A and B are shown apart, each in its own frame.
Chain A
């Protein structure tokens, strides 16, 4: 492989990483908003959040990407930059999966913690911010770590729409060299290394959050 082709691969890695970061951020926001809404006391809010989750989990990520690329622009009269279309489709889909993680972790917090907050006169927002989330978030990290790997694999789907990510650069190199085994092996290895680094980062984050939780001054019996 020539250095020019390697440059193509490096540019693909950069696009993949960008897309991963953006869609992970959007996905996290969606996951927390929808996940918290699913534990809301109003039934209608819970219902709407449930519909969102089922619709976006129910359909295929690739169909979603096609839909964002081809149906949204004529329907609403605006055209999305490929990066944002990809971010939107991936963030909304994987956010729906993430909302299940958030909901599960929130409902796994000991009910006495919530009741304690009520007894101390905390507002619902304070209870969520100061009592429930600090205990629930460290428990979410292992599942989010798995989901992040799924999202990384999902970013490859945007190459179908011609966006120059890592998988797409692999196709270009294959066409240039008329040889596929070598380049696809490299591409798979690069994805594997990114996934490995991600799991390491997430494991470190989990450790840190748990230490913070344990080391916090509680001002009494914890």
Chain B
């Protein structure tokens, strides 16, 4: 096995560009999954099953099928339907949608963990439904779910390389491009592998600290 530091040095500028795209996709994907997940969770609490049932089936379907195929679906089908979006936008939408079906479960658990006394107090104060949610239930629920959401952000980070398959040049995309141009696979792939660990391991430590602090 030969290791060429020259190749690492040549790859680094591409690496930073890829990292930037990865972080962009991660940030936007997280925002979409946080909002959409909350929407799903709230829809699952509506009294009529005509809303709950379709939302439940669709989210279950999205959760149990591969993100890769969903990416292909959006990337190739949206243009057929006349919707033009850049590869990065498509990828961000796919990741955000996929992970919103996970975050909805996190929100659901958080909402259910709000003690019933809080609901009763809101009723006793005759707060309107909207105020009950925005000032009583959600602030307590969201606080509780922050660590769990953090875990999904880390999971999402590890799924961003999939965007490479729809031509987005994130970290893995840059590494593959560099490898094919220079016929050096070992160095760029190892660099980004290490980069993933260097980002996700400290991030998981932060999440664990948050968990412990919320538990106490």
Contacts and interface: CB of A to CB of B under 8 A. Distances in A.
A63 to B, nearest CB: 5
Nearest to B172: A63
A70 B189 contact: yes
A63 B196 contact: yes
A59 B196 contact: yes
A160 B189 contact: no
A98 B210 CA distance: 23
Given A70-B189, A156-B69, A188-B65, A58 B80 contact: no
Interface stretch (B126-134, B135-143, B156-164): B156-164
Contacts of A187: 69
Contacts of A157: 68, 162
Given A59-B158, A61-B158, A167-B72, A180 B80 contact: yes
A181 B197 contact: no
Contacts of A71: 185-186, 189-190
Contacts of A149: 64
A167 B162 CA distance: 13
Q: Which of A57, A59, A67, A152 has the most CB of B within 10 A?
A: A59
B64 A180 contact: no
Given A54-B197, A60-B159, A180-B77, A67 B64 contact: no
Given A59-B197, A192-B64, A195-B64, A180 B76 contact: yes
B27 to A, nearest CB: 17
Contacts of B193: 59, 63-64, 67
Given A60-B172, A179-B80, A74 B64 contact: no
B192 interface: yes
Nearest to A166: B69
Contacts of B162: 62, 157
A32 interface: no
Contact of B172 (A66, A156, A184, A195): A66
Interface in B11-33: none
A74 B73 contact: no
B65 A192 contact: yes
A181 B190 contact: no
Contacts of B67: 153
A159 interface: yes
B76 A174 contact: yes
A187 B69 CA distance: 8
A27 interface: no
Interface in A60-105: 60-64, 66-67, 70-71, 74-76
B201 interface: yes
Contacts of B159: 60
B61 to A, nearest CB: 6
A53 to B, nearest CB: 11
B5 to A, nearest CB: 16
A108 interface: no
Output the residue of A63, A181, A187, A191 with the most chain B CB within 10 A.
Answer: A63
A179 B1 CA distance: 45
Interface of B: 1, 61, 64-70, 72-73, 76-77, 80-81, 157-162, 164-165, 172, 175-176, 179, 185-186, 189-190, 192-193, 196-197, 200-201, 204
29 contacts: A54-B204, A58-B200, A59-B158, A60-B158, A62-B164, A63-B192, A64-B193, A66-B189, A67-B193, A70-B185, A70-B186, A70-B189, A71-B189, A75-B1, A152-B66, A157-B68, A160-B165, A167-B72, A171-B72, A174-B76, A181-B80, A184-B77, A185-B73, A188-B61, A188-B73, A191-B64, A191-B65, A195-B64, A196-B64
Given A71-B190, A180-B77, 9 more contacts: A57-B200, A63-B189, A67-B189, A75-B186, A149-B64, A167-B72, A184-B69, A184-B73, A192-B64
